[in-house]
Structure 1
């Protein structure tokens, strides 16, 4: 997908103003940090409320970006960061299209949300991404079924920077304890599975900041 240079950095996330909630989140952060698998808590904008060290390690090699860092907004990272495919395997079908489906669902629930609408406008500014959202996404859902749009339980491919893992699968597990639900948060954990059998390395050239790419679900306009 094409890199988007425009857009605004997400607004600072509000901090819960009760001591009880703050204490719960502090303890929940300690729980998150104790996990060996990458784990993060997001709000309905996909702003990252907290993430553990394993999550940070997974994206350690990602280059700086003004609006799409994985530790700030995971939706923007998947859609707009040129390095996303370096870490998220089968980037288009495994991550981009499911996240576009997540955005569509969020917009149906929070249609006037400023942050979600800002992401939608950035998509509309890029002809390739707009075609993916309007034509590619419905085509993909018809082909694979609505179940593929759900994250909980999905098995996704990762390119882990730790050579002991390398190309490996993870199962996404979604959890929403009641205190997080009341805040509009949810937790996603990438449960790492045994690494796949070693295969010949495939060199994936990094995309430049202004380079566009083509989505296979969108018919090419080139002759």
Structure 2
């Protein structure tokens, strides 16, 4: 299973073979003591932050017409019954609706990786991420790493992306997964590895009436949002339907190395 650990010697063999490295869940990678990025400082200093870590939407462009538009767009997002979040170019949360807050309401505090502050950081670095995101490593971490890799390749100088890349580099297992395993996984999975619109994944909802359930990811970016690099991600929770086949480490072990 994705949440289980494997022995270090087996990880070493996988790295040597240039196969995907999944030695432990990426969510268990903790930041080094004292490490604090600018994003983390904003999160820690924001005394109005909710439990999910959602800051005020102060990072939005200072454009009156755009702000008027997003105020209405946020109101529309809040009316959705499904978890929905508006993300900036670095996966920072510009706005999250009440259903999103409810999904991640039980997440413990973290200085830089709260789900209401930065979704990518939450998936990669928060120790509680696997408690909500089922098949955390294969269904969430690897796809998010693939998206990050594409964005980082386009602009390595972007401060937020550069900080995340450094945190990945600080952990040998995650760094090996990023540099060696991820390219092979992306080639094996294809375009779906990076473009997630329509993907069906699983979550563990804190509402006992929902429990473990599947959701379809719907990614959209209206023209007005797209001009500023913003997009919305919605997790359309599915009430019924056959359980998807669980993919564990065996799925990754067959990724070709050439």
TM-score range, shorter chain: 0.7 to 0.9
Whole-angstrom distance in 2 between the partners of 1:127 and 1:90: 22
Mapped pair 1:3 → 2:30:
yes
The counterpart of 2:212, out of the listed 167, 170, 186, is: 167
- Matched with 1:61 is 106
Superposed displacement of residue 217, structure 1: 4.9
TM-score by length of 1: 0.84
Mapped pair 1:104 → 2:149:
yes
Superposed displacement of residue 15, structure 1: 3.4
Superposed displacement of residue 32, structure 1: 0.5
The DSSP-based 3-state class of the residue aligned with 1:75 is: helix
- Matched with 1:211 is none
Structure 1 window deviating more from structure 2 (136-145 vs 189-198): it is 189-198
Relative to 1, partners in 2 of residues 1:63 and 1:132: Cα closer, same or farther, differing over 3 Å? same
Superposed displacement of residue 197, structure 1: 7.0
Q: Give per-residue Cα distances to partners, 1:50-77, cap 9 Å, x unaligned.
A: 0100000000110000000000000000
Contact map agreement 1:167 1:196 (CA 8 A) in 2: no
> How many equivalent residue pairs?
203
Mapped pair 1:43 → 2:72:
no
Whole-angstrom distance in 2 between the partners of 1:45 and 1:147: 20
Q: Give per-residue Cα distances to partners, 1:102-132, cap 9 Å, x unaligned.
A: 1111112222111101000000000110011
Structure 1 window deviating more from structure 2 (130-139 vs 28-37): it is 130-139
- Matched with 1:75 is 120
Unaligned runs of 5+ residues in structure 2 are: 1-25, 43-57, 244-248, 254-258
Relative to 1, partners in 2 of residues 1:131 and 1:176: Cα closer, same or farther, differing over 3 Å? same
The DSSP-based 3-state class of the residue aligned with 1:169 is: strand
The counterpart of 2:181, out of the listed 136, 150, 153, is: 136
Say what the alpha-carbon RMSD is for the aligned residues.
2.2
Whole-angstrom distance in 2 between the partners of 1:195 and 1:62: 25
Superposed displacement of residue 139, structure 1: 2.8
Superposed displacement of residue 89, structure 1: 0.6
Mapped pair 1:157 → 2:202:
yes
